[in-house]
Amino acid sequence: MAEVLLLDDFIDFQLVGVNSNFESSFQFVFQINQLFGTGFQRIKDLDILINNQEFLFPTFYWYDTYSKIDYHIIKNRPIQVDYQNKEVDLSQLFPADFPLISNYRSCNYVLKITGWDDEIDQLELPVKTNDFINKIEIYDIESISDAERLIF
């Protein structure tokens, strides 16, 4: 009999929404690295194909060697992709403005945490609210309908 794999078997991470004054992901990550002593670095953007259109979400990565936890900061809104095709597509005339994770609609960044097996509220997060982080939202991963977008 074949083994059935469920999508839940691949979701081995937690998500935290972060709302910041910084729209620029570079400024945001720079400030986090300076203030909290983290080492986030830019990696390849998360690319998602929706209705045959590619959307890119800036992504930063840091591995905490002390706690053995992987952290990704992903901008919750896509950056504009310039297409060089000759076909007219009206969707390219307007900037895409939708959240990667709809539960965090009010947050402009998502913190993906991999390697933490206990409840997320028991983890000391590498960021805290301050002058440039207005809000941190924690949801149960099972209540987030589009969490599968972050399986990578």
Does pLDDT of 63 surpass 90?
yes
The highest-confidence range among 3-7, 8-12, 103-107, by mean pLDDT, is: 103-107
pLDDT at 82 over 60: no
Across 25-29, 46-50, 100-104, 115-119, least confident range: 100-104
Task: Decide if pLDDT at 74 tops 80.
Answer: yes
The residue-averaged pLDDT of 59-69 equals 95
**What is the rounded distance in angstroms from the CA atom of residue 97 to the CA atom of residue 87?**
22
Length of the chain: 152
Cα–Cα distances in angstroms (integers) from residue 103 to residues 23, 40, 138, in the given order = 19, 24, 10
Residues 133-150 as b or e (16 or more Cβ within 10 Å = b): beebeebebeebeebebb
Angle at 56 between CA 72 and CA 92, to 5 degrees: 160
Tens-place pLDDT, residues 97-106: 677 777 778 8
Residue 54 has pLDDT above 90, yes or no: no
CA–CA gap between residue 96 and residue 92 (Å, rounded): 8
Give 112's contacts (C-beta < 8 A, 6+ positions apart).
13, 14, 15, 70, 71, 72, 73, 74, 150
Model pLDDT for residues 91-145, shown as the tens digit of each residue: 555 556 677 777 778 899 999 998 887 777 788 899 999 999 999 988 776 666 6
